[in-house]
Amino acid sequence: MVILLFFLHLHITAFPDFQVITGAAQGTSYSVKYVGEKGQVTKSELDSIFRVVDLSLSLYEPASLINIFNREGRVKMDGHMQNVIHESLLCFRESNGCFDITTDGLTELWGFGMVRHQHIPSSERVKKQLSITGSRYLLVKGDSLIALKKGIKVDCNGIAQGYTVDLVTDFLSRHGINQLMVELGGEIRVKGEHPDKGPWRIGVESPDVLAGDWHPVQQVIGLRDASVTTSGNYRNYFNAGGKMYSHVIDPIKGRPVDNGIIAVTVVTSEAMKADAWDNALYVMGVEKAMKYLKTRTDLEAYIIYRDKDGKVKDTSTVGFKNLLQ
């Protein structure tokens, strides 16, 4: 998770044109902050955006397009689903399968789906589920999404919140708002400067196991016109047999990721892209992720991990270091 650090700025009451709208959506909370007139955008307008996305991509909405696809193996997509599927398949290809939206069955199998449990599935069940996992079994034909193998299910939770953040940002921009911050469940996008004329200062939590439920700030970065998201295993996991099982599923192995990585924070232009790539880099592992990042000028990343001796360490791209405050 990443958090906006207002305490590093002057108190927000010093900025009379600074507006704040908060609420709940997509199973989490959201916060929209912008410089402009009060009422320039309304909470009801924002909530309507979240509702439209849910009707397209939410697994918790029975009539959503994604649930229709999961039941029938085919669906005519709306624009939102097309955008998310396109980016998902692009990341799938570019990450060599490390990001994959067809792991819904594996997520359910390991107890991190809509029905939660703490049960380790047999290797036979994992193998069977893997046989119907893989974005290579998805076909986009016009505005239709078609399953090429029976039983394929799609779960866009690893990218949909980032997409929603971009959608809200674009909505605010169309209303003439050029200084803003949109946050949904820890996924953040900023535009322009903070009201104090400096960058928006964002804190990245430290997954310090000694801190219990309180995670102190590990790094602080300054952003203008950028997005930042984090994928980590320190909030959503279970322990069994003395071992921790993360909610992040390796789509290739069919098991929770166990490569030493604790958290990956990604900074890039759009929240949807950052949301996808924090998962992909997490699955890759430290060495492969850092090697891959050298080929990308559009992605900056910060990785916290445990080395072979169990010591917590971190590493980052040069671009991320340049953002540190």
**Angle of CA points 110, 111, 112, to nearest 5°:** 100
**Following DSSP, what letter does each residue of 63-121 receive, concatenated?**
TSHHHHHHHHSEEE--HHHHHHHHHHHHHHHHTTTSS-TT-HHHHHHTTBSSSB---PP
β-bridge pairing 2-4 and 243-246: unpaired
pLDDT of amino acid 126 = 93
Residue 97 is part of which domain span? 2-321
pLDDT at 1: 43
| pTM of the entire predicted model | 0.91
Rounded to an integer, what distance in angstroms lies between the CA atom of residue 244 and that of residue 308?
16
How far are the Cα atoms of 74, 80, 263, 293 from residue 289, in angstroms, in the given order?
A: 34, 29, 12, 6
pLDDT by 10-residue block (mean), the chain, 325 residues = 40 71 94 94 97 96 97 98 98 98 90 74 92 97 97 94 98 97 94 91 68 60 95 67 77 92 94 97 97 97 91 93 94
Q: What is the CATH number of the domain that holds 143?
A: 3.10.520.10
Question: In a 3-state reduction of DSSP, which class is residue 174?
Answer: helix
CB 233, CB 246: distance < 8 Å: yes
Whole-angstrom Cα distance, residue 159 to residue 95? Answer: 15
Total of domains in the chain: 1
pLDDT for residue 240: 62
Write down the pLDDT at residue 91.
Answer: 98
Amino acid in the structure at residue 277 = W
